[in-house]
Structure 1
């Protein structure tokens, strides 16, 4: 008997395609709102930097990449105006990278755009179905776990 179920490999691909669709639409809108140089990986990096800043070594650990790879990305984001380097007020030997005003602006805009994209998905499939999908994904995934190590997990980093 032939199963009418889709093959197992389709599930992760569809989940990834949903993620990719949202992120591509986010970046298209960010570009229209004044952030055309941001790339998907930059969002992971800025989230890993956080509101208090971090060192290149710690950023590398959070992203699952080398300190050198993290440093190259910091250089790129600094050149684009999204981060600033400085010293740690508690330890002048430590060099800290922090989000600039432009970096914070991009994250605030991203949050709003994601809300708009979610609303579009709800309008397409219905709020009840979207709530059910989100609840099911919460059931199937670890609670309060949002890894930022996608660069290292995928096995490479630019």
Structure 2
């Protein structure tokens, strides 16, 4: 008996397939050390930098996990820590030139993937899919509120 994949299975398959294409292509373009977990920082990092607490909030990861990822990316040469001009006690995570190159390439790769799917599905169908997907994400994020918890 073949079971139809549930929402979590479909979302996981989509995520893993997108990550595979993205990170294989990034490796071919000069970024072989970047891993999917690094996206919790790089995908949400502004060129002028961001505080680790802001990156944690944007990515939905715990601050400690973001701190560990920042440490890894710093060792790999993708980011550096710099004083926050707005608060001398705080540090900003700032992309290096190598980090900006990775961020720029990752965004271009993801845009190409989206364009390919848009062309294959048709613009209207793809727009409807993305809107429905956004709605599901918003509703899922509010599951505790919906349960009254």
- TM-score grouping bracket, smaller chain normalisation: 0.7 to 0.9
1:32 Cα deviation from its structure 2 partner: 0.6
1:29 Cα deviation from its structure 2 partner: 0.5
Distance 1:128 1:58 in 2: 34
Contact 2:83–2:92 (8 Å) recurs in 1: yes
Q: Hey, what does 1:65 align to over in structure 2? A: 62
Residues 72-87 of structure 1 mapped to structure 2, 5 A cutoff: 72-87=68-83
1:30 Cα deviation from its structure 2 partner: 0.6
Asked if 1:39 corresponds to 2:62, the answer is no
Asked if 1:97 corresponds to 2:93, the answer is yes
SS of alignment partner, residue 43 of structure 2: helix
Contact 2:78–2:95 (8 Å) recurs in 1: yes
Q: Deviations over 1:38-96 (max 9, x none)?
A: 111111212344344234455455543243x4332222101111101121223333232
SS of alignment partner, residue 141 of structure 1: helix
- The number of residues matched between the two structures is 137
Q: Deviations over 1:96-126 (max 9, x none)?
A: 2211122122111111111111222234444
Runs of 5+ in structure 2 lacking a partner? 142-149
Distance 1:38 1:127 in 2: 32
Asked if 1:130 corresponds to 2:122, the answer is no
Q: TM-score, normalization: structure 1?
A: 0.70
SS of alignment partner, residue 50 of structure 1: coil
Distance 1:131 1:56 in 2: 33
SS of alignment partner, residue 36 of structure 1: coil
Greater relative CO, 1 or 2 (CA 8 Å, sep 6+)? 1
Distance 2:109 2:124 in 1: 21
Q: Hey, what does 2:145 align to over in structure 1? A: none
Runs of 5+ in structure 1 lacking a partner? 1-5, 147-158
